[in-house]
């Protein structure tokens, strides 16, 4: 039953995302809101469906190399990110 | 459900490593897509609310539904209920096939009516690159789950094998949770 509730939550968040496009939210605000909603959905999938709640991979060995690549990726694209405020 | 409370085995740990490395591939593509979207004021925004966004929303719900049936398949296998495991695995595969069919229909619309292909500029190249790679993952997942289904029906495979397949399938679903808003919703016609 919990899984069904999580699924309903995921569908509801998807509809909220589509609703943001429907009401023509400003691009910069929309990008920020969509990223937050997507992260919540991804967390719900990982925590409940992928069983991170009960089955955890060894975090240090798995996550630390990924963190370095992620930070490097963000830094390399920072100049473009600064222009997000002028997005049309 | 006891099997779900046990620590992860070699197979699930291996799948986690694969999932995280593949996540970096998609993260790179999506960060680059978003950087291009921000950096180009004239970035194409070809998607109409109806039918394109309605279609993409239905595709998202279908993929989410297939994740739910996959969870039920994993839970059934943890109880050694092979009959229900096969049933839910088949439902998951059907969801994957439905997603691909909807996706191809949406691609067809984009190519034939909007005249956007992988070679008509940066948007087309990145759009078909990202969504094509994801569709390939869904297709591979459907084949992977078909092999698991055939094995479970014959009395082969353990609960961890099904859980490993489930990890892959949920990962494909998780990635779409970023593709749908960043690629589709951020390119809705003004």
Residues B23-80: tens digit of each pLDDT: 889 988 998 888 888 888 888 899 999 889 999 999 999 999 999 999 999 999 999 9
Give this prediction's pTM.
0.89
pLDDT exceeds 50 at position B1: no
pLDDT bracket for residue A51 (50, 70, 90): confident
Residue-wise DSSP of B83-132: HHHHHHHHHHHHHHHHHHHHHHHHHHHHHHTS---TTSSHHHHHHHHHHH
Q: What is the distance in angstroms between the Cα of A22 and the nearest Cα belonging to chain B?
A: 7
Nearest residue in chain A measured CA to CA from B6: A55
Rounded Cα gap, residues B177 and B52, in angstroms: 17
Mean pLDDT score, A55-59: 66
Would you list the domain boundaries of chain B?
A: 7-187
Phi/psi at B47 (5° precision)? -85, 125
* Burial profile B31-48: b = 16 or more Cβ within 10 angstroms, e = fewer: bbbbbbbbbeeebbebbe
Residue-wise DSSP of A19-69: HHHHTT--HHHHHHHHHHHHHHHHHHIIIIIS-TTT----HHHHHHHHHHH
Average pLDDT, chain B: 92
Give the pLDDT of residue B3.
Answer: 45
Give the pLDDT of residue A61.
Answer: 66
pLDDT exceeds 60 at position B87: yes
Q: Find the domain containing A43 and state its range.
A: 2-86
Retrieve residue B117's tokens. 């292909």
Q: What is the distance in angstroms between the Cα of A53 and the nearest Cα belonging to chain B?
A: 9
ipTM at complex level? 0.91
Which of A1, A11, A45 to probe the B interface (max B CBs under 10 A)? A45
| Residue A66 or B40, more confident | B40
| Residue B13 or B8, more confident | B13
Q: What is the CATH number of domain B7-187?
A: 1.20.120.80
Domain count of chain A? Answer: 1
């Amino acid at each position: 039953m919990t899984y069904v509730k999580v699924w309903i939550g995921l569908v509801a968040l998807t509809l909220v995302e589509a609703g943001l496009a429907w009401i023509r939210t400003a691009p910069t605000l929309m990008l920020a809101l969509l990223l937050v909603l997507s992260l919540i959905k991804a967390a719900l999938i990982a925590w409940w469906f992928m069983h991170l709640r009960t089955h955890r991979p060894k975090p240090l060995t798995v996550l630390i190399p990924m963190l370095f690549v992620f930070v490097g990726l963000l830094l390399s694209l920072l100049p473009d990110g600064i222009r997000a405020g002028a997005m049309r | 459900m006891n099997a779900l409370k046990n620590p992860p085995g070699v197979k699930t740990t291996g799948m986690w490593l694969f999932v995280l490395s593949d996540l970096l591939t998609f993260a790179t593509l999506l960060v680059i897509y978003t950087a291009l979207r921000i950096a180009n004021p004239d970035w194409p925004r070809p998607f109409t609310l109806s039918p394109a966004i309605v279609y993409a929303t239905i595709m998202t719900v279908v993929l989410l539904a297939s994740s739910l049936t996959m969870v039920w398949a994993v839970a059934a296998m943890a109880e050694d209920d092979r009959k229900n495991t096969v049933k839910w695995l088949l439902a998951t595969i059907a969801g994957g096939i439905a997603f691909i069919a909807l996706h191809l229909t949406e691609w067809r619309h984009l190519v034939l009516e909007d005249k956007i292909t992988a070679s008509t500029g940066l948007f087309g190249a990145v759009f078909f690159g990202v969504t094509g790679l994801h569709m390939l993952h869904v297709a591979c997942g459907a084949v992977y789950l078909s092999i698991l289904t055939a094995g479970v029906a014959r009395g082969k495979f353990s609960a961890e094998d099904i859980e490993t397949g489930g990890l892959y399938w949920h990962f494909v679903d998780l990635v779409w949770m970023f593709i749908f808003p960043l690629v589709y919703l951020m390119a809705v016609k003004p």
